[in-house]
């Protein structure tokens, strides 16, 4: 017999976006249903952010142990037990899983349904024998790895983010297609754990980031032994027993690289299969579900958020941010809109690469008359004590000093970017950063030093020169 539910809100997908919607709605006492067909926690917990950062943490331990000599500390021998690395990654997932579990959400008052959601009409979703006629629906079905159309690629086994964290044996040679954040994080992790790694990229690596900052990450990876071939066209993949070979067109000749495993990290495909969006009058294409600035689809009862929504940044915190906007729109009728300029992102290689607000290139495209302020990690005392002097901060302001964007490459860039995200969201002027008292010695001082540089060109008056000199010495 069919059961019919009539909640105020129904979230489809129990990943970062769907869970945030359900938790917030439940906190406001709103009847809410959450539908998940796979594992609660979605990509981020099970096959994305969490396992990738846990693997990088193992790799970092290995790198730290190898690089102790300048500090006067050396380890006689470093062993990597890949089976135990795998166990560490899985234990981290298991430690976080209860927070995202169906049991926890049921305890919050959410009705959790396991199964695949499918629209029946413009206001009904069915999961098996259950029909949900909600006042509002939020689609948060995420994305899956996109497979490039390379001849032979699917004629044998290949890894993606959905399978790479299941490996229990160390690949002697790993080939990665795709030099975006995921490809390069995995490249550094596996290299540091002892694999030979070759990365093939058709365009420029880390193409969405500031090229000057990205170059510092690429330089470090190459120094660690990762082979990066960019601007190459992969011609075909051949699978043999326990081996794979990839042939690509380099600058002049055809070259072939051989490995034990192939990891495909060439972007993401929005998940829309099985939803029957057409039955609900929802428009979508290969880029995802079409939404307006309020994340509403062509059906006014239905929102789409996170990785499945077309044209949106694909990060966990972006999906959380979308969830907050939808709650305000759907429950409180507040006309809030998505603003990508306040969504930071981080590539968790070492050095880390963090971006918030506009990149220099974006500011140029918008025709903004800008100032670019910089400070190097080399000139920071804490960076010197840690021997982490590789990197810099780059701050983009208007001519009058309004902070528009910040790129940081260097140790803990992902932590340092938080302050600047707040500054941009609050529309702060660079002046407010010059007066701030920061603990010494910390990496955060690089930001204050860059801010002080804003005043450097106006040093015609001796009085101003004295102030800047004072700030540089005591600031």
Ligand X SMILES: Cc1cc2nc3c(=O)[nH]c(=O)nc-3n(C[C@H](O)[C@H](O)[C@H](O)COP(=O)(O)OP(=O)(O)OC[C@H]3O[C@@H](n4cnc5c(N)ncnc54)[C@H](O)[C@@H]3O)c2cc1C
Does residue 391 touch ligand X according to CB under 6 A? no
| Nearest-angstrom CA–CA distance, 189 and 54 | 10
* Residue 140 is a binding residue for ligand X (CB under 6 A): yes
- Does residue number 122 form part of the binding site for ligand X (CB under 6 A)? no
- Under rule CB under 6 A, residue 182 binds ligand X: yes
How far apart CA 318 and CA 303 sit, in angstroms, is 15
Q: What share of the chain is helix, strand, coil (3-state, %, to 5)?
A: 35, 25, 35
Q: Among 9, 10, 11, 16, indicate the residue that binds ligand X (CB under 6 A).
A: 16
Which of 80, 51, 76 lies closest to 194 in space, CA to CA? Answer: 80
User: For residue 400, how many other CB atoms are within 10 A of its CB?
Assistant: 10
Q: Is 288 in the site for ligand X (CB under 6 A)?
A: no
**Smallest separation (angstroms) from ligand X to the CB of 307:** 4
Which C-beta is closer to ligand X: that of 19 or that of 218? 19
Choice between 288 and 391, CB closer to ligand X: 288
DSSP letter at 146 equals: P
Q: Say whether residue 117 binds ligand X (CB under 6 A).
A: yes
- Report the residue from 266, 297, 314, 397 that binds ligand X according to the rule CB under 6 A: 314
- Pick from 65, 56, 12: which is nearest to 34 by CA? 12
CB of 253 to ligand X, least distance (A): 32
Nearest to 197 by CA among 219, 225, 159, 166: 225
How many CB atoms sit inside 10 A of residue 341's CB?
A: 14
The DSSP-derived string for 117-140 is -EEEETTEEEETTEEE--SEEEE-
Q: Residues 316-355 vs ligand X: string with x where CB under 6 A?
A: xx-x----------------------------x-------
Pick the stretch among 138-146, 205-213, 402-410, 440-448 that binds ligand X (CB under 6 A).
Answer: 138-146
Of 47-55, 187-195, 252-260, 280-288: span binding ligand X (CB under 6 A): 47-55
DSSP string, 264-282: E-S-EEE--TTS-GGGGT-
- Residue 421 binds ligand X (CB under 6 A): no
Q: Does 359 bind ligand X (CB under 6 A)?
A: no
DSSP 162: T
Indicate the residue whose CB is closest to ligand X: 15
Task: Among 148, 274, 311, 435, indicate the residue that binds ligand X (CB under 6 A).
Answer: 274
* Binding positions for ligand X, rule: CB under 6 A: 12-18, 35-38, 42-44, 48-49, 52, 116-117, 140-142, 161, 182, 271, 274-275, 306-308, 314-317, 319, 348
């Amino acid at each position: 017999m069919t059961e019919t539910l009539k909640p105020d809100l129904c979230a489809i997908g129990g990943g970062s976006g769907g869970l945030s919607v359900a938790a917030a709605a439940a906190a406001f006492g709103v009847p809410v249903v959450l539908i998940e067909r796979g594992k609660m926690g979605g990509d981020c917990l099970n096959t994305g952010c969490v396992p990738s950062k846990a693997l990088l943490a193992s790799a970092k331990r290995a790198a730290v142990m190898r690089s102790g000599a300048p500090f006067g500390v050396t380890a006689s021998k470093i062993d990597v037990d890949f089976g135990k690395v795998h166990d560490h990654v899985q234990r981290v997932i298991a430690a976080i899983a209860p927070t995202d579990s169906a049991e926890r959400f049921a305890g919050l008052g959410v009705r959790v349904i396991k199964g695949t959601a499918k629209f029946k009409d413009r206001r009904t979703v069915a999961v098996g024998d259950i029909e949900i006629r909600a006042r509002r629906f939020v689609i948060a079905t995420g994305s899956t790895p996109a497979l490039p159309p390379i001849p032979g690629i699917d004629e044998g086994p290949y890894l993606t983010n959905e399978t790479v964290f299941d490996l229990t044996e160390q690949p002697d040679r790993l080939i990665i297609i795709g030099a975006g954040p995921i490809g390069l994080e995995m490249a550094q992790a596996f290299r540091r754990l002892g694999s030979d790694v070759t990365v093939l990229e058709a365009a420029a690596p880390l193409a969405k980031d500031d090229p000057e900052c990205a170059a510092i990450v690429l330089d470090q990876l190459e120094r660690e032994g990762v082979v990066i071939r960019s601007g190459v066209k992969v011609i075909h993949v051949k699978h043999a027993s326990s081996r794979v070979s990839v042939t690509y067109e380099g600058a002049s000749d055809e070259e072939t690289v051989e490995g034990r495993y192939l990891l495909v990290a060439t972007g993401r495909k929005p998940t829309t299969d099985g939803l029957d969006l057409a039955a609900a009058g929802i428009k979508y294409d290969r880029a995802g579900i079409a939404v307006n600035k309020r994340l509403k689809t062509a059906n006014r009862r239905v929102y789409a958020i996170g990785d499945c929504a077309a044209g949106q940044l694909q990060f966990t915190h972006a999906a959380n941010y979308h969830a907050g906007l939808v709650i305000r729109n759907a429950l409180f009728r507040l006309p809030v809109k998505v603003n990508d300029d306040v969504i930071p992102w981080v590539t968790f290689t070492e050095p880390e690469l963090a971006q918030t607000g506009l990149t220099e290139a974006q500011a140029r495209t918008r025709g903004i008359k800008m100032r670019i302020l910089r400070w190097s990690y080399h000139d920071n005392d804490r960076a010197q004590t840690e021997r982490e002097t590789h990197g810099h901060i780059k701050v983009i302001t208007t001519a009058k000093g309004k902070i528009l964007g910040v790129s940081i490459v260097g140790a803990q860039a992902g932590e340092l970017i938080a302050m600047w995200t707040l500054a941009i969201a609050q529309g702060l002027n660079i002046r407010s950063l010059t007066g701030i008292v920061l603990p010494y010695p910390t990496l955060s001082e690089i930001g204050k030093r860059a801010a002080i540089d804003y005043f450097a060109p106006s040093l015609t008056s001796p009085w101003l020169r004295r102030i800047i000199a004072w700030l540089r010495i005591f600031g």
